[in-house]
Copies of this chain bind each other. A is one copy, B any other.
């Protein structure tokens, strides 16, 4: 794959999510050769995928070309390809674009949707973990409204207009809230022929509350906001199967719904070649306090795909961007320390807080025991997301879209491109 051998240590990074991106950036002054692989040629700002799925933002404004991010970084090379296997004894990665040796290998592949082995849900539910999945979801939602206009059957029409979101984490809550806003402000203008009292948005959660990671205060706020927006929240309810027409629940209930969005679980994206016992039951690599994978010498994992058991987090840290970014910063420092034969630092998570938005003027954020709700929370949420977005142009375009949508109660990107095709 035409990677020059520079006789300096080569750091191979797999994945350009928050972790991989930060690691490569933090190594910009290191005397190493960085080679990054990703199956996309862009970094995805995952926290805003739900706004792409609900017509609020262009896909292009939350994705950023990897080559553009690093165009001034001389020690960085990118190859658009997938790492398929690791041969740790030989320090080799095998990829769809050829083989490469490494001195340091960092796995930052993140997570994918976890259906917990339920094959019919995997086949018929819509995931929302990538730009392409978010675009597909947008197309499906709009296509189902077009379809609702055509049918003579009231039952089918209701099923087409019933949106079942499974999983009460931030993704599920934000998506359900955005769907309620589409119902309230946007779609009735587009489809005056339809009776929007028939449109239902349901949020299904297995435990007894939403936003597990948050304080009781904010959990209640989120439930109140969802209720105000007209979302039906079904707590302590589990989905047992789905056939693209009807959701069957473990309590025996059956709900006709042609839209099931699965935000109920994630699992790490692992690469073959490493010892099975380095991977836990959620597909995360078990790493030590230096992010080094159990049983490996020079292979690391950071971010969502890494699980570092600590006193506070027995099953690993929360799978959020700040953990990935902080692990990347630490690892970049440690790699440089090691090359200088200096002592290494252990990882120590600095928790800046957590947040979720339910709708306009309705968000919950908490940070160092300071909790915001409502309009204040919503402003904090927007400001922090704009700051984290990569690229000035993207910040501007997203800000204009948000301003526009706020003033006009609108969502502009209601395009079926490309049309969603059933699996």
Q: Chain A, 1-16, contact with B by CB distance < 8 Å: what is the 0/1 string?
A: 1100000000000000
Interface residues of A in 112-166 (CB under 8 A from B): 131-132, 135, 142-143, 146, 149-152
B58 touches A60 (CB 8 A): yes
A404 on interface, CB distance cutoff 8 Å: yes
A interface SS class: mixed
**Complex alpha-carbon distance, A61 and B2, angstroms:** 37
Q: Which of B2, B40, B132, B414 meets A150, CB within 8 Å? A: B2
A149 touches B2 (CB 8 A): yes
A318 on interface, CB distance cutoff 8 Å: no
Q: Which of B41, B135, B391, B401 meets A146, CB within 8 Å? A: B41
**Complex alpha-carbon distance, A391 and B97, angstroms:** 43
Contact-residue bracket for chain A:
35 or more
A45 on interface, CB distance cutoff 8 Å: no
Which B residues are in CB contact (< 8 Å) with A67? Answer: 189-191, 414
Q: Which of B2, B131, B400 meets A417, CB within 8 Å? A: B131
Which B residues are in CB contact (< 8 Å) with A393? Answer: 400-401, 404, 412
A65 on interface, CB distance cutoff 8 Å: yes
A40, A152, A397, most chain B CB atoms within 10 A: A397
Q: Chain A, 376-402, contact with B by CB distance < 8 Å: what is the 0/1 string?
A: 000000000000000101001100110
B1 touches A150 (CB 8 A): yes
Which chain B residue lies CB-closest to A408?
B393
Q: How far is the CB of A411 from chain B (nearest CB, A)?
A: 10
Which B residues are in CB contact (< 8 Å) with A146? Answer: 41, 79-80
Which B residues are in CB contact (< 8 Å) with A404? Answer: 393, 396
B190 touches A68 (CB 8 A): yes
B40 touches A416 (CB 8 A): yes
A30 on interface, CB distance cutoff 8 Å: no
Q: Kindly report how many copies of this chain are found in the complex they form together.
A: 2
A92 on interface, CB distance cutoff 8 Å: no
Which B residues are in CB contact (< 8 Å) with A235? Answer: none
A253 on interface, CB distance cutoff 8 Å: no
B65 touches A190 (CB 8 A): yes
Q: How far is the CB of A6 from chain B (nearest CB, A)?
A: 13
**Complex alpha-carbon distance, A414 and B64, angstroms:** 8
Which B residues are in CB contact (< 8 Å) with A41? Answer: 142, 146, 414-416
Report if A150-B98 is in contact (Cβ < 8 Å); known contacts: A41-B416, A412-B393: yes
Which chain B residue lies CB-closest to A98?
B150
Q: Which of B77, B142, B150, B151 meets A79, CB within 8 Å? A: B150
A1 touches B149 (CB 8 A): yes
A277 on interface, CB distance cutoff 8 Å: no
Interface residues of A in 100-114 (CB under 8 A from B): none
Q: How far is the CB of A404 from chain B (nearest CB, A)?
A: 5
Give me 4 other A-B pairs in contact (C-beta within 8 A), A1-B150, A2-B149, A68-B189 excluded. A1-B149, A58-B59, A71-B190, A393-B400
Can you pick out 25 interface pairs between chain A and chain B where the beta carbons lie within 8 Å of each other?
A2-B152, A40-B415, A41-B142, A41-B146, A42-B415, A42-B417, A58-B60, A58-B61, A59-B60, A59-B417, A60-B60, A63-B417, A65-B414, A65-B415, A67-B190, A68-B189, A68-B190, A68-B412, A71-B192, A79-B149, A80-B416, A131-B417, A132-B417, A393-B404, A393-B412
Residues of A near any B CB (own CB < 8 A): 1-2, 40-42, 58-61, 63, 65, 67-68, 71, 77, 79-80, 97-98, 131-132, 135, 142-143, 146, 149-152, 189-193, 391, 393, 396-397, 400-401, 404, 412-418
